Amino acid sequence: MIKNDEKKSTGKESVQVLITQPKPESEKSPYFELERKYALKLTFHPFIKIEAIPAREFRKQKIDLSLFTAIIFTSRNAIDHFFRMCDEMKVSISQDNKYFCITEAVALYLQKFILYRKRKVFYGADGTNKSMFDVINKHKENEKFLYVCSENQQDNEIVNWLKNNNCDFQLAFMYRSVSNDVRVVMDANSFDIICFFTPSGVRSLFDNYPEFSQNGTLIGAFGNNTVKAGEEAGLHVDIKAPAPQSPSMISALDNYLALKSKNK
């Protein structure tokens, strides 16, 4: 078990990395290229489960989805649940709507639901909130924004920026995250690196192991809120993304492992 206060050197050659997300469906995923490049042992296990908020419950928020002209997405989950909610509530979304996304990967996921046109789909240059704010700032006049997010995981930096920049916006809670059982994986392995992608993932770790001690295990975190959640929980975050040279967790791991190999 990775109690980490009991972590010992086993003489193993492979670096054991826990990715707290589902395993990619495609064998061409950059994760597997990274695994081969550095002889890693990757384990994928989601630390949170996403539960849909049904339309009957969403109606209590008294939000008319048809009134908004610009939608903010920070994850694929948000996109899935936005269009699910539109279907459940039989709401037609204008073809002129604009979409502002945290990364290009999230933006491209919109192709599953809409005719993708660059004049209405925008994303930040480097995956940071700031780069998304820069894009929103150019288009914010006369737009009514809907920020689609988890009931227990909205990004306060985004909310505060929208408030401080006098944007006409509303939060829409369409799903919620709950902690997953991670003990089946954690008890069976001793991980050198654990990568988190949401504050809820960090919370799940401590829901499963209230007395968790890092004790040398490296922590990776994607997003300012995830980094903050890790640090507030007493973790030292060693690998951070996005950053100018590390727009994704994969590139952050790559850069970290390359530097480590160079310094050996």
Query: Cβ of 65: how many Cβ atoms within 10 Å?
Result: 18
Residue with the two structure tokens 């809120």: 225
C-alpha closest to that of 72 among 156, 138, 132: 132
Reading the block at residue 160, the tokens are 């505060």
Cβ contacts of 14 within 8 Å, gap of 6 or more:
39, 40, 41
Cα separation, 35 vs 15, whole angstroms? 9
In Å, how far are 144, 175, 186, 220 from 20, measured between CA atoms?
A: 34, 19, 11, 10
Vertex 46 angle, CA 43 and 47, to 5°: 115
Reading the block at residue 177, the tokens are 């995250």
| Rounded average pLDDT per 10-residue block, the chain, 264 residues | 44 83 92 95 96 97 97 94 97 94 92 88 88 94 95 85 96 95 94 94 97 95 90 97 88 94 78
Q: Name the burial class of residue 3, with classes exposed (0-12), middle (13-18) and buried (19+) by CB atoms within 10 angstroms of its CB.
A: middle
C-alpha closest to that of 196 among 156, 173, 225, 216: 225
Cβ contacts of 54 within 8 Å, gap of 6 or more:
88
Residues constituting the chain: 264
Residue with the two structure tokens 């288009």: 139
Return the pLDDT at 13: 65
* Positions of E strands within the chain: 15-19, 40-44, 48-52, 70-73, 98-101, 121-123, 144-150, 168-179, 193-196, 218-222, 237-241
Task: Look up the pTM and report it.
Answer: 0.74
One-letter-per-residue 3-state SS of 162-220: HHHCCCEEEEEEEEEEEECCCHHHHCCCCCCEEEECCHHHHHHHHHHCCCCCCCCCEEE
Return the pLDDT at 128: 83
C-alpha closest to that of 246 among 257, 238, 254: 254
